[in-house]
Each structure stands twice: as C-alpha cells, then as structure tokens.
Amino acid sequence: MRKTVFLFACAMAMNAASQNNPLLEKSFRIPFDRIRAEHVEPAITQLLAEAKAKRDAYVANAAPRTYANTMTAFEDIQEDLNQTMGLVRHLESVATTPALRAAVTNVLPKYTAFVSGIPLDKEIYAKIKDFAATPDAKALTGPRKRFLTWTLDEFRRNGAELGEADKARLRAISVEMSQLGKRFSDNVLDATNAFEIVVKDDTLLAGLPESARAAARESAKRKGVEGWRFTLQEPSFRAVTTYLDDAGIRERMYRAYNGRAAGGASDNVADMKRILELRRERARLLGYKNFADLTVEDRMAKNGDRVREFLATLDRKTRPFYEEETAKILAFRRSIEGDKAPALAPWDIPYYAEKMRKARFDFDEEAVRPYFPMDSVLKGMFELVHRLYGITVTKVDNAAVWNPAVQYFEVRDADGSLLGCFYSDLYPREDKRGGAWSDGLITGGPIDGTFKPHLGTINGNMTPPVGDKPALLTHRDVETVFHEFGHQLQHVLGRVPVRGLNDVAWDFVELPSQIMENWTWERECLDLFARHYQTGAPLPEDLYQKMRRARTFRAAYAQMRQLSLGVVDISLHVDYDQQRDGDILAYARRVFQRYTPAPVPEDYAMVASFNHIFSGGYACGYYSYKWAEVLDADAFTRFQKEGIFNRKAGMAFRHEILEKGNTEDPAQLFRNFMGRDPDPDALMRRNGLITK
C-alpha cells in the first residue's frame, strides 16, 4: 500500500512539473515565448526517465513479436525525448544565452549516453531480430519492409554485435564527441561575436554600397558607438570584402573571419584533433577502414573511394576553366592599375571579381536589391509552390515565437487539409549562429490511420530591415531563401508512414533544396515577386538580362571553392596523420591552396570554424552539396522542357521526391521522376563549362 501511495505521489509530482514546464507540454503550437533555460534540465531528466521506462517495458514484453510491439514500439521509446531535445538545440541555435548553453551542456552527456546506447542494446536488438525471423516480417512490403531492413543494418553499423568492452567504449566516444561538437559550435559563435571594426571616417567607406553603410550605421547605434560598425556576420563581412576600396580593412576582415576559433579563449584546434581521433577510433572499432567508409556506406556514394573519385572527376573537368578565370582576373586588375599592379591577395579576389563582373556585364548585384524585398520574395515563392504542388502557404499571426522578427506560416493542401507549419527566422543576431539552415521540429505524416501535421523552421542571416526600409535582398540571398524553403518542403510534404524513414540519404537531401534555386533565374518566376519596393515596378528586362549573362561568371571558381571544402573534409578524415603531417591548420592550408587562386596566408585557419564537419553533421558528407547539385541541375531540365510552372511535372516531383523520404532507394526515386539515371554532365552544362 505504501509503495502504491508513493508511486501515485510521484506521478502527481511529475504531472505538476509537466504543467509548469512548457517543454513538457505536448502541443503543436510550441510555447516558445515561455521556454527558459531553467526548464531544460527538469524536462530532459523527466523524459529520459520515461524513455528508460519505455525501454524496460519493451524488452520485458514477452508477447509474440508483431510489427506493432516491435517496430512501432521501438520508435516510440525515444520519440518524446528526441523531439524535446531538438527544440532545445534549436533554441540554442537561434536564441542562445549563457544559461541556456550551460543547461544544454549539463544534459547533453546523459542524453547522448542514452540515445547512443540504444543501437548497442542487445536486448532490444534481440527483439528486432526475433521479429525479423517471423513469417509476418518476411511478408512485409514497402516502407515497413525497408524500415525493418534499415533498422537491423543500423544496429549492426553502430556496434550491436560487438563485445561489451567495445560497446562501452563506443558509448564513451559518442558522449565525448557530442560535448566536443557543441563546444566547437559555441566557440565559433563566440569568436564571430568577439570581432568588430568601427569606422569613424566616412572617407574609408569608399566603394561600399549604401545598403551596407546603412546597416553598419544601424549596427553602431545598437551598440551605442559612433560611426559605422562592421562584424563577421555574413551580410557585413560579404559587403566589406566585395565592395570596400580600402584593402587594409578588407584584409583585416578576411584574416579575422578565416582565423576564427584558431586561438585565444575560443580555440578549437585541440578539439578538432580530438574529434578526428575519436572518429577514427569509432570506425576502427566498427570494422571500417576509415570514418568515410563508415559514414557513406548507407548513402548514394556507398564508400569513401567513390566520394574521392567523384570530387577528383569534377576537379579534372573544372580546373582548366578555373585556371583560365584566375589568369583573367589578374589581367583585369593590371588593365586598370598598370602592369606593375601586385599579384592578387585572397582579400582582393572578391573585390576585383565584382569590379570585373560589373565591367564585363554592366551588372552590379546591389542594383537588384530594391526589387527583392523580403516579404515579396516570400509571397512569390509561396505562389510558385502553389502552382507546382497545389499547396497554399499562409502567414498566421499571434504564434508564440522566440524573437519578434520570427514569422509563422501554415501549409495547406488543395483540399484545405493542414499539412504542416513552419517558422521563418531570417535575420542575424548575436545570439544566433551564422549561416542558413532548415530544421524539422515535429515529424507528422500518415500515422495510426490519420495524418498528423509537420512543424519546422527555416533560418538565415540576410541583411535586415533598416529604418523605414524593408529587408532588401541580393539575388544570392533570394537563392538562399528558396534553398532553405526547399528543405522545409520535403519536411512538410512528407507522407512517410514510418517516422524513422523521414530522413533521406545525406547525399540526396540537398536535391529538394538546390532545385528550388533554379526558379530564381527564370523570368516568369521572378515576375511573381521581383518588384521595386517603392514603385512596384517589375525588374527591368535589361537588368534581368544582365543578371542572366553574369550567372556563370567565375562558375569554375565557385565550383572549385565547394570542391575544396569537400576535399579537405575527406582528407582530414582519411589521410591526415598528426605525426606524419604535422599541424592540422597547416595541413588544411596545403589542401585549400590547391583550390585557391592566391597564396593562402600563414594564419589562414578557416577549418577551425568549419561547423559543417565538426559540429553540423556533414563530416565526410560535404561532397553531398556537389553530388546533389548534379541531380538538381538534371532534374530541373524536366521543368524547362515541360514548363517551369507545369503542374504535372510539379506533382510528379512532389509524389516521387518530396513525399517519399527514405521509403525507397534514392537512385530509384530519381529514376521514378526523370525516367532514367542522372546525367553526370548536367551541372557542367548549367555552369556554362561545357556546351554539348
């Protein structure tokens, strides 16, 4: 009796805690305005206890094995815990505070220990293998069959068949890597925020566009200083290095940006080495030659050697054009400054490239800004997907958000049913990490006989509104918005009946995002939104044609830049040996130099802030951007042939790509849409590097 009373009291206490903790409220409308750092540890602690109880009940269930009590119940063990931890990590990305950082740091080890321990759990693995041996399992078809096969493979790949000592070591590696990855990301944000240049003499601003001046003035005002303040946040950094005449300031910005987290209080160098050591050890324990083979085995590329072959092939095809471009930009500088003009330094390249583009095509990217106000871009993008996929995207007011700049939208199908919702957070802040990304917060879909809506976010760091002016975007910014919304489309349109199959292969995941960028170059699509923010006039045809002609300007350089990131990623994980190759920063510099048209300075340390591979999930996967770019360049040719708003082609892409998740092999999904395998030269043609 006493035990019953005690358990009842515990349950009541947990209920009370749930009612007072917004992270424990099971609501589709997440109360972001009420979530605080102090809620994190109690919520994760409670959900960990519940997940452990579910795990114990799962292995204790002696009933005959069925899909429901084996595979569905297996997914349920971590569902609430992972969803809540995802919300917490999202908030740390977009609205971090010292208290929130500390809270996440405190819960991360025990969370990681539990989650990484699931694929090592011999009792869970035994239940799944028992089910796999039943006639019911052998009769499975479609997504359920794929999920069973995929789950068994994931257990094997993650060490379920190892001895207990090796399993214990894998658990320890997972916990340490999660802590190191978080610290890496924190250090990058801190190093980014630690740097600023305040200019008080406006003569030093020569060459800088008015939009960048206004943003710098506004930044200075927010900090309570006189003059113009420049930071390492993307809009500020890009404007200075592209347009500012003062080479000294350009150099300071370049060195600061590419030296982030390579020393001082935010030094990532030791952690980078340790992360690589742990990844090598993990691969070795699991029986793989290297971390690339372990990581890529379940992706389209299948192994590290094929990744290297892919990157090397693109290198060979691109390098002659790249060398020609490099020679032309130096010749351009000397044509305007004389034969004795010095060789290009790295901080000169974007500056002279922009001048060369303007001279050759009479096109200045700043000229299109007035025609790309953010709200109009979003409306036009939503109209595009309405025409293609039959969906309607509508802004919803009064949603709880983590910052006043955040907006909330719902997505409905042609019959009015709710497919999902998403938040947009598109402007930089010092409490927000850099870059652009999309996240899924709640995964729904056709589950248990009903459709449950999805919830996600798109995030960016575009130039914000200044004064009474709206946020005005460059065309590159427009591409970024379309790109991240493409990721969100795959999330919100997903119709996967098994949650575990929502995440697609890593080298296929960029197809839905990158294909969206193609529409931003089409006149018919631009006419949906490219209108002057003051007059409403459409983008002038001559300006559009200049933009189109300049599209492939220095395409080889851009391709080699992306290849350099993919090559340094693979090289660090496969080739680098500290005893043989020495300092990791020097090693990475040597790799980057092969893809850089100017001598890389001795303090170049971009790899120390390479979040993608050290804290962002792209380790041995950065090649996937170029891999998927080949796919998207080819897939878009169907829309070019059938019409860029063609509903039949759009619905085929929706049904065969966006809705399917990982329910079929991605190569087959592509064939289902295109009727054939990818054309490997599609990307080179789109970039103007081959014409046949």
Tokens of 688: 């103007």
The one-letter amino acid code at 628 reads A
Calculate the alpha carbon distances from 471 to 228, 235, 369, 371, 396 in Å: 19, 12, 9, 11, 20
- Answer whether 478's CB lies under 8 Å from 520's CB: yes
Distance CA 436, CA 438 (A): 7
- Answer whether 300's CB lies under 8 Å from 627's CB: yes
Tokens of 585: 């920063």
Element (H, E) at 419: strand 418-425
- Answer whether 618's CB lies under 8 Å from 562's CB: no
Q: What is the 3-state secondary structure (H, E, C) of 361-417?
A: HCCCHHHHHHHCEHHHHHHHHHHHHHHHHCCEEEECCCCCCCCCCCEEEEEECCCCC
3-class DSSP state of 458: strand
479 in catalytic set: no
CB-based contacts of 11, cutoff 8 Å, min separation 6: none
3-class DSSP state of 597: coil
Q: What are phi and psi of 542, to 5 degrees?
A: -65, -35
Q: Write down the catalytic residue from 365, 366, 484, 629.
A: 484
Q: Which residues partner with 654 through β-bridges? A: none
Element (H, E) at 441: strand 437-442
Burial label for 12, CB within 10 Å (0-12, 13-18, 19+), is: exposed
The one-letter amino acid code at 291 reads F
Residue 644 CB-half CA count within 13 A: 16
The one-letter amino acid code at 461 reads N
- What is the C-alpha R_g of the chain? 26
- Catalogue the active-site residues: 484
